[in-house]
Amino acid sequence: MMSTAAATTTHTIEARISLEDETRCQQILALWMAALNRYDATAMDALMRFPHVRLSAGKVTVYDTPGNNPMNLFDRLRQQDGWHHGAWNETKLVQS
């Protein structure tokens, strides 16, 4: 009996973001983190694209429009955990 399964070929392409685009993305991330640490939701929204997809703690959250940042989260974190700022240990830009 002959197999009717189609052959599958996988190709890998090494896509790289340009140095200019990477520099600009890193600048935008730095501006966003500064806005976060100022608790400035308006500035954060201005730097984001919508709908905005957030992956955190194993959950996916979609913010369809500006004005939906849960800024009360930071109040709770400050009160419960003494949180005072956010920072990245590293950033890695990927093109998808």
The reported pLDDT for the residue numbered 84 is 86
Q: 4-33: per-residue pLDDT in tens?
A: 666 788 777 777 788 898 899 999 999 999
Contact predicate 59/50, CB 8 Å: no
Contact predicate 45/66, CB 8 Å: yes
Q: How far is the C-alpha of 53 from the C-alpha of 61, rounded, in Å? A: 6
Q: Which of 41, 19, 21 is nearest to 32 (CA)?
A: 41
CA 43 to chain centre: 15
Its pTM stands at: 0.72
Q: How far is the C-alpha of 49 from the C-alpha of 25, rounded, in Å? A: 13
Q: 34-92: per-residue pLDDT in tens?
A: 999 998 889 999 999 999 998 888 999 999 999 887 778 778 888 888 888 999 899 88
Q: First CA to last CA across the chain, in angstroms?
A: 41
Q: Where are the domains of the chain?
A: 19-81
